[in-house]
C-alpha cells in the first residue's frame, strides 16, 4: 500500500477529503494532470453514488475507506463501503453515447456520473465481498 488509508463517514461532506486523498496519490504516482483529474472525477462520482444510493436512500449509515496501491505500470485507488450492494455496470446502461446527443429538453438528469466514471479510468472493477462493496479504479502510468 502507498501511504496511509483514509477512513471517512459516508456523507457528502466527505467528498472533499476523498478528493484530496486521490489528488495526493495521483501526485505521488506522477500522473499527468489530465489523468489525475479523471481519476479524481471517477472516484468522486462513484463515492457520490455510494453515499446517496448505497447509504442514504437505503436508510443506512457507514464509512468509506480508501487506499492506494502503485506498481511501475499502474496506480489503483481502492474504495470499500458497507452500503447496499450495487451493480455499476447496470447503472452504466442508463446513459449511452446516443443519449448524450439528445436535445437538452429531453435528456434525463440521472446516470451521468457513472457514465463519466467508467470513461475516466483505464480499468474499473467492482466486487461484493461479504457485506462490503469493493471498487477499484486503475490508471496506467506514463502511457506511450
Binding site for another protein (CB under 8 A): 12-13, 15-16, 19, 33-34, 37, 40-41, 44-45, 48, 51-52, 100-105, 107, 109, 112-113, 115-116, 119
Q: In the structure grid, which three cell numbers stand for residue 1, read together?
A: 500500500
Compare residues 36 and 68 and give the one whose CB is closer to another protein.
36
Q: Minimum Å distance from CB 30 to another protein?
A: 18
Angle formed by the axes of helices 33-49 and 15-28, nearest 10°: 150
Q: Nearest approach, Cβ of 134 to another protein (angstroms)? A: 22
Q: Which strands make up the sheet holding 123-129, listed edge to edge?
A: 2-9, 63-70, 74-81, 132-140, 123-129
Separation of alpha carbons 45 and 86, rounded Å = 14
105 or 131: whose CB is closer to another protein? 105
69: left (phi over 0), alpha (psi -120 to 50) or beta: beta
**Closer Cβ to another protein, 75 or 114, answer by number:** 114
Strand ranges in the chain using DSSP code E only, listed in sequence order: 2-9, 63-70, 74-81, 123-129, 132-140
Neighbours of 41 (CB within 10 A): 18
* Identity of the residue, 7 or 96, whose beta carbon is nearer to another protein in the bound complex: 96
Q: Minimum Å distance from CB 90 to another protein?
A: 17
> Considering the complex, what minimum distance in angstroms separates the CB of residue 119 from another protein?
6
CB of 98 to another protein, least distance (A): 10
> Which of 63, 69 has the CB closer to another protein?
63
Amino acid at each position: 500500500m502507498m501511504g496511509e488509508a483514509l477512513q471517512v463517514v459516508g456523507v457528502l461532506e466527505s467528498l472533499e477529503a476523498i478528493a484530496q486523498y486521490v489528488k495526493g496519490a495521483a501526485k505521488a504516482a506522477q500522473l499527468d494532470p489530465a489523468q489525475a483529474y479523471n481519476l479524481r472525477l471517477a472516484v468522486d462520482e462513484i463515492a457520490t453514488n455510494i453515499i446517496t444510493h448505497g447509504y442514504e436512500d437505503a436508510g443506512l449509515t457507514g464509512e468509506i475507506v480508501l487506499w492506494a496501491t502503485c506498481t511501475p505500470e499502474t496506480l489503483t485507488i481502492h474504495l470499500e463501503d458497507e452500503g447496499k450492494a450495487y451493480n455499476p455496470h447496470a447503472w452504466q446502461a442508463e446513459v449511452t453515447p446516443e443519449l448524450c446527443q439528445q436535445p437538452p429538453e429531453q435528456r434525463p438528469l440521472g446516470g451521468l456520473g457513472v457514465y463519466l466514471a467508467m470513461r475516466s479510468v483505464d480499468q474499473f472493477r467492482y466486487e461484493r465481498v461479504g457485506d462490503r462493496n469493493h471498487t477499484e479504479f486503475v490508471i496506467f502510468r506514463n502511457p506511450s
